[in-house]
């Protein structure tokens, strides 16, 4: 095997000259790695390509490594050595650091390219946390939906765990805190996935492949491409809980479960999946007391949180005392309770909705349907899949943007088990472990758009300068692709259809950029707004106009979200 034979002490049977041959063979993957690194770093900064897909960079590097390693030449002993490889702490630490650096660069580059839109990143997370740091608890100022303006978002979602993050804004108010937290959550989840696969008795090679699949699959990428959403914390806390549960580490398990409960009111669904997965894989070996802790406690805590949120928080904080996202399932009933009864009465329609949803075509397809063979890890996802499949909201039903994130830990673990089962039917154990690792990773990279890098936009860098040129005291309605870069002044508000009609904004200034995302406005609507009376002296690529009666001609509506 060429990747090992240049180490004759380890493989004394290596033929003469094998070391030199192996060294030459590795020139290809090393060169591809260097070129890939240059593209990943240089293209966003210098604008070499309009878009770079990470998979298009990684796949050639991996293919070059396979060619250099030449596994078709390995003998049984060499397969066993590879399958028995266990990375040292130093290797793991280096891998974690590289993964964190890569994902941080991708997320930061998307931010500088205007690819992270204010909806939902700025309006529901960044600015509310800044407001919390000022003592206004998770207060939302302006949004793309008038129902949620000037209201604490705790009336909408139970984001309890986010409140302590406001302390970071006392140090320095910047959206980079949340972008960094997204990366930390995903990388930490990857570490736990590695540990979980090892705890299940699989090799270090397969565990490493599963961890990389967790980081790189399209379901995770859709979430990170979005910037930050509370669901990204499930990527950390759910694998943490699984890891602790398999080790019977009660304290760590309860801490992970509590953290999961505090993410959002829907935590009952991933925690039910957690309890089911542990019951199906480790339950028969547990005593009844452990079963209460590891199976019943997570669901009970989540149900208590859900009940307190609906019965106490929502009536106290919501303007009309109702659940403000009930319209997501309004075809089944006007309230969550009515909708639940409506869905239960028609189980066939519920099942049909789940089948027609994005679960099969989008979510499972991103793992080549391998989790179906590791079904014990995904059986507990059924309630969440049925609920999302029944939604009237297209993004929820399609498991779009961040909605698939709670499922990903279970899917990746199930995928590792499924890949090992497939490989085990074709090869001996050592070969099967290595082949399964390749299959898990290939399935994560081959399907879906994944991570993308686009050129940084100078308009984004110049937002602060442009706002400084607008007279003090003027309300500024900022285009959604620019709003994450606008800072935190109260007079800076999101440009949305209803904000144009708000009489409090009469005479406001609109800050626009034709080449940056303007959701919820379509391109022709933004062009119409840009034709209003202009204020001169703006940096290149930015346009400032004065709102007047002519704005009604622009017929603002809902355009397309920012491209991935």
Average pLDDT over residues 506-525: 92
> Are the C-beta atoms of 105 and 116 separated by less than 8 Å?
no
423-463 per-position pLDDT tens digit: 999 999 999 999 999 999 999 998 888 999 999 999 999 99
Three-class HEC string of 113-149: CCCCCHHHHHHHHHHHHHHHHCCCCCEECCCCCHHHC
- pLDDT recorded at residue 285: 83
DSSP bridge partners of 493: 477
Using the predicted structure, report yes or no on whether residue 224 has a pLDDT greater than 80: yes
User: Residue 406: inside a domain, yes or no?
Assistant: yes
- pLDDT recorded at residue 561: 45
C-alpha distance from residue 193 to each of 82, 83, 148, 371, 415 (Å): 20, 18, 37, 15, 12
User: Residue 437: inside a domain, yes or no?
Assistant: yes
Clarify whether residues 327 and 237 are in a common domain.
yes
Pairing status of strand 476-478 against strand 543-546: unpaired
**Residue 51, CA atoms < 13 Å, CB-side half-sphere:** 9
Clarify whether residues 498 and 376 are in a common domain.
no
**CA separation for the pair 84, 89 (Å, rounded):** 16
User: Residue 105: inside a domain, yes or no?
Assistant: no
- pLDDT recorded at residue 3: 41
279-321 per-position pLDDT tens digit: 999 888 888 899 999 999 999 999 999 999 999 999 999 999 9
Of the candidates 453, 480, 512, which is a domain's last residue? Answer: 453
> Are the C-beta atoms of 211 and 192 separated by less than 8 Å?
no
Clarify whether residues 439 and 476 are in a common domain.
no
**End-to-end Cα spacing for the chain:** 41
233-251 per-position pLDDT tens digit: 999 999 999 999 999 999 9
Average pLDDT over residues 466-475: 91
- pLDDT recorded at residue 555: 60
Clarify whether residues 239 and 219 are in a common domain.
yes
Clarify whether residues 365 and 428 are in a common domain.
yes
Clarify whether residues 380 and 270 are in a common domain.
yes
Give the count of beta carbons closer than 10 Å to the beta carbon of residue 30.
13
User: Residue 129: inside a domain, yes or no?
Assistant: no
**Residue 226, CA atoms < 13 Å, CB-side half-sphere:** 24
**CA separation for the pair 268, 301 (Å, rounded):** 8
Clarify whether residues 435 and 485 are in a common domain.
no
106-134 per-position pLDDT tens digit: 999 999 999 999 999 999 999 999 999 99
User: Residue 71: inside a domain, yes or no?
Assistant: no
Average pLDDT over residues 5-27: 54
Clarify whether residues 426 and 466 are in a common domain.
no
Q: How confident is the model at residue 553 (pLDDT cuts 50, 70, 90)?
A: confident
Residues 6+ apart with CB under 8 A from 289: none
DSSP letter at 486? S
**CA separation for the pair 280, 297 (Å, rounded):** 16
**CA separation for the pair 96, 93 (Å, rounded):** 5
Clarify whether residues 380 and 285 are in a common domain.
yes
- pLDDT recorded at residue 564: 37
Clarify whether residues 208 and 331 are in a common domain.
yes
How many distinct structural domains can be found in the chain?
A: 2
**CA separation for the pair 377, 278 (Å, rounded):** 8
Cα-Cα-Cα-Cα dihedral of 96, 98, 101, 102, to 10°? -110
- pLDDT recorded at residue 549: 79
Of the candidates 422, 453, 484, which is a domain's last residue? Answer: 453
Helix axes 204-216, 54-69, angle to 10 degrees: 160
Q: What does residue 71 show for φ and ψ, rounded to 5 degrees? A: -65, -20
- pLDDT recorded at residue 206: 97
Residues 6+ apart with CB under 8 A from 426: 432, 435
Of the candidates 399, 423, 453, which is a domain's last residue? Answer: 453
Percentage of the residues of the chain whose pLDDT score is greater than 70? 94
- pLDDT recorded at residue 162: 97
Clarify whether residues 287 and 339 are in a common domain.
yes
Using the predicted structure, report yes or no on whether residue 560 has a pLDDT greater than 50: no
Q: Looking at beta carbons, which pairs linking 268-271 to residues 24 or more positions away fall under 8 Å?
A: 268/299, 268/302, 268/303, 268/305, 268/306, 269/381, 269/383, 269/384, 269/387, 269/406, 270/234, 270/238, 270/384, 270/406, 270/407, 271/241, 271/298, 271/299, 271/301, 271/302
**CA separation for the pair 513, 459 (Å, rounded):** 7
Percentage of the residues of the chain whose pLDDT score is greater than 90? 82
Q: Which domain holds residue 538?
A: 458-554
Pairing status of strand 543-546 against strand 509-512: antiparallel
Clarify whether residues 397 and 465 are in a common domain.
no
> Are the C-beta atoms of 294 and 286 separated by less than 8 Å?
yes
User: Residue 89: inside a domain, yes or no?
Assistant: no
Q: How confident is the model at residue 357 (pLDDT cuts 50, 70, 90)?
A: very high
Helix axes 429-446, 54-69, angle to 10 degrees: 160
**CA separation for the pair 105, 57 (Å, rounded):** 15
DSSP labels for 145-207?
Answer: SGGGTTEEGGGT---GGGGGGHHHHHH---THHHHHHHHHHHHHHHHHHHHHHHHTT--HHHH
User: Residue 94: inside a domain, yes or no?
Assistant: no
Residue 32 token pair: 């591809």
Using the predicted structure, report yes or no on whether residue 20 has a pLDDT greater than 70: no
User: Residue 539: inside a domain, yes or no?
Assistant: yes
* Average of per-residue pLDDT values in the chain: 92
45-103 per-position pLDDT tens digit: 999 999 999 999 999 999 999 999 999 999 999 999 999 999 999 999 999 999 999 99
């Amino acid at each position: 095997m060429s990747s090992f034979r240049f180490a004759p002490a380890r493989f004394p049977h290596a033929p003469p000259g094998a070391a030199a041959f192996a060294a030459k063979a590795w020139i290809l993957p090393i060169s591809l790695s260097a070129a890939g690194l240059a593209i990943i770093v240089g293209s966003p900064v210098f604008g070499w390509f309009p878009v770079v897909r990470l998979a298009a960079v990684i796949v050639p590097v991996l293919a070059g490594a396979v060619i250099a390693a030449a596994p078709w030449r390995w003998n049984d002993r060499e397969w066993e050595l590879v399958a028995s490889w266990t990375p040292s702490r130093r290797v793991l630490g280096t891998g974690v650091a590289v993964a964190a650096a890569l994902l941080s660069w991708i997320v930061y580059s998307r931010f500088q390219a205007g690819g992270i839109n204010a909806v939902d990143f700025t309006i529901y997370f960044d600015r509310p946390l800044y407001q919390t740091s000022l003592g206004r608890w998770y207060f939302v100022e302006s949004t793309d939906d008038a129902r949620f303006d000037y209201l604490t978002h705790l009336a909408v979602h139970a984001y309890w765990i986010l409140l302590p993050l406001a302390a970071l804004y006392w140090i320095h108010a910047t959206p980079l805190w949340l972008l960094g937290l997204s990366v930390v959550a995903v990388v930490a989840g990857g570490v736990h996935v590695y540990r979980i696969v090892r705890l299940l008795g699989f090799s270090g090679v397969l565990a490493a492949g599963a961890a990389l699949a967790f980081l790189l699959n399209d379901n995770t990428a859709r979430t990170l491409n979005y910037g930050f959403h509370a669901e990204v914390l499930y990527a950390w806390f759910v694998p943490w809980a699984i890891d602790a549960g398999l080790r019977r580490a009660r304290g760590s398990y309860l801490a992970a479960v509590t953290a999961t409960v505090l993410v959002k009111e829907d935590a009952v669904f991933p925690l039910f999946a957690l309890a089911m997965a542990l019951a199906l894989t480790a339950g028969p070996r547990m005593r009844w007391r452990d079963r209460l802790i590891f199976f019943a406690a997570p669901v009970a805590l989540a149900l208590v949180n859900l009940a307190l949120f609906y019965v106490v928080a929502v009536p106290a904080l919501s303007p009309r005392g109702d659940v403000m996202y009930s319209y997501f399932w309004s075809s089944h009933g006007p309230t969550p309770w009515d909708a639940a009864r409506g869905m239960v009465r028609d189980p066939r329609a519920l099942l049909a909705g789940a089948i027609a949803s994005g679960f099969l075509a989008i979510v499972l397809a991103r793992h080549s349907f391998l989790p179906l063979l590791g079904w014990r890890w995904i059986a507990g996802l059924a309630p969440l899949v049925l609920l999302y499949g029944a939604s009237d909201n297209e993004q929820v039903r399609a498991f779009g943007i961040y909605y698939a994130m709670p499922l990903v830990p279970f899917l990746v673990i199930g995928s590792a088990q499924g890949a090992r089962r497939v490989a085990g039917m074709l090869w001996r154990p050592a070969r099967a472990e290595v082949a399964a690792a390749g299959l898990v990773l290939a399935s994560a990279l081959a399907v879906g758009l994944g991570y993308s890098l686009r050129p940084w936009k100078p308009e984004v860098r110049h937002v602060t300068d442009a706002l400084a040129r607008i007279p003090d005291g003027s309300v500024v309605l900022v285009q959604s692709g620019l709003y994450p870069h606008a800072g935190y002044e109260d007079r800076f508000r999101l440009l949305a259809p209803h904000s144009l009609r708000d009489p409090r904004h009469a005479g406001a200034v609109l800050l626009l950029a034709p080449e940056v995302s303007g959701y919820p406005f379509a391109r022709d609507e933004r062009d119409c707004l840009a034709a209003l009376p202009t204020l001169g002296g703006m940096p290149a690529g930015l346009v400032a106009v004065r709102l007047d009666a002519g704005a009604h001609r622009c017929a603002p509506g809902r355009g397309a979200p920012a491209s991935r």
